[in-house]
Structure 1
Amino acid sequence: MSKKSYYTAEGLKKLRDELRQLKDIERPRASQAIAEARDKGDLSENAEYDAAKEAQGMLEMKISKLEEVLSGARVIDESQLDTSKILVLSKVKIKNQTNGMEMNYTLVADGEADLKSGKISVNSPIGKGLLGKSVGDVAEIQVPSGIMKFDIVEISR
């Protein structure tokens, strides 16, 4: 049984596009590489054939894993989410109590996390520490260097 994971419509489309790319383009390319290596003769000492078979196995494993993720994927309806507390897809502004630095993050599913664009996973230490908090709350988050405290300044969608 696959694990349920929640995505935005955009994130789910990206996963489906990746799967389509792997199946429609990469899989035939891997089969072609095996066929070309097979045509070169003796398979018992053909490193090119072994490498092509290994690459195909890795590709099939990746396809299988992506299909499993997609089978448990659910799209989040943002209009149904409560904006009074931090949930998946919440945009939050937090302030570090130690240095006063303010940060903006959007909490997303693991597959959509991208720190450069301000998207952090709900399963990351900060994401877990923020879930369920409201404006005015203090999130105490365990990090390798100790406990960091963040003031929840703003929550939006």
Structure 2
Amino acid sequence: MEKEYKMSQARADELQEELNYLKTTRSDEVAEQIKVARGFGDLSENSEYDEAKNEQGKLYSRIAELEEILQHVVIVDESSSTDVVAIGCKVTVKGPAGEAAYSIVGSQEADPMHGIISEESPFGKALIGAREGDTVSVEAPQGVINYTVLKIER
């Protein structure tokens, strides 16, 4: 079974925009870099050419990655009101370090440094399906940490 990539419609649109940019504008820029570098002469000792070809490889790799993600994207319905933690929720929890709020998102949108947690992370997996007042346990490198769900918002 193919991997599904859960995300909001807004994130899917951003990825589609990036893919369009890479296939058109950026692809043309890299092709021009290669053309210019070829003009510098002997390709066996031409660092500009090597760099341009490396850039082209990165570009094609990112295009393939985006096409794979967009082909298997599952748009999460963030409008439904729920009393359990699901993707698209903002969850306030109380843990050993005090209270903190986190947004639960698909893996392609995660940004843990800003409180945006993937539903595939250990913390996200523990929170999915929890209700207000529930205590969840998260396996962490320093041991099991317990969090109490204080509030769930959409």
Number of the residue aligned with 1:140? 137
Deviations 1:56-87 (A, max 9, x none): 0111011111110111112112234x612111
Q: Please report the TM-score for the alignment, with normalisation by the length of structure 1.
A: 0.90
Q: Secondary structure at the match of 2:22?
A: helix
Number of the residue aligned with 1:118? 115
Q: CA deviation at 1:30?
A: 0.7
Number of the residue aligned with 1:32? 32
Q: Please report the TM-score for the alignment, with normalisation by the length of structure 2.
A: 0.91
CA contact (8 A) 1:2 1:71 kept: no
CA contact (8 A) 1:93 1:102 kept: yes
Number of the residue aligned with 1:75? 75
Deviations 1:112-156 (A, max 9, x none): 112354311111221111111111110010111111110111112
Q: CA deviation at 1:11?
A: 0.9
Q: CA deviation at 1:2?
A: 4.1
- The question of 1:85 aligning with 2:84 is answered yes
Deviations 1:40-69 (A, max 9, x none): 222222222122111101110111111101
Amino acid at match of 2:46: N
CA contact (8 A) 2:5 2:108 kept: no
Q: List, as ranges, runs of 4+ consecutive aligned residues in structure 1 with deviation greater than 4 Å.
A: none
Deviations 1:4-23 (A, max 9, x none): 11111111111111112211
Whole-angstrom distance in 2 between the partners of 1:45 and 1:61: 25
Amino acid at match of 2:117: I
Structure 2 unaligned spans of 5+: none
The alignment covers a number of residue pairs equal to: 154
Q: Secondary structure at the match of 2:88?
A: coil
Whole-angstrom distance in 1 between the partners of 2:33 and 2:141: 46
Q: Secondary structure at the match of 1:79?
A: coil
